[in-house]
Amino acid sequence: MGAGFVCDCLECNKKFHVSQGGGFVFLQWCCGECGKTISLPRYAPRKNEKERKKLGLMHLLVKKIKHKLNKFSRFSRLLIIENSKVASPDKLESFTYENIKLILSDRKYWCSAGDEWNEFEKKQIKLILGPCECGGSWVNPQEKKYQRAEDTNGPHLLHRCPQCRSIKFTYQHDMSFD
Number of domains in the chain: 2
Same domain, 61 and 34: no
**Is there a domain that residue 84 lies in?**
yes
Same domain, 115 and 156: yes
Q: How many residues in the chain?
A: 178
Same domain, 125 and 149: yes
Please say whether the beta carbons of 86 and 62 come within 8 A.
yes
**What is the model's pLDDT at position 81?**
34
**What is the model's pLDDT at position 175?**
77
Q: Which of 90, 115, 147 is the last residue in one of the domains?
A: 90
**What is the model's pLDDT at position 135?**
93
Q: Which of 90, 118, 150 is the last residue in one of the domains?
A: 90
**How many C-beta atoms surround the C-beta of residue 41 within 10 A?**
20
Go through 150-173 and write b for each residue having 16 or more CB atoms within 10 A of its CB, e for each that does not: eeeebbbbbbbbbeeeeeebebee
Domain that holds residue 59: 49-90
pLDDT, averaged per 10 consecutive residues of the chain (178 residues), comes to 88 91 82 88 82 59 54 41 40 84 91 86 93 91 74 78 90 78
**What is the model's pLDDT at position 155?**
81
Same domain, 117 and 164: yes
**What is the model's pLDDT at position 73?**
44
What single DSSP character describes residue 153?
Answer: T
**What is the model's pLDDT at position 57?**
56
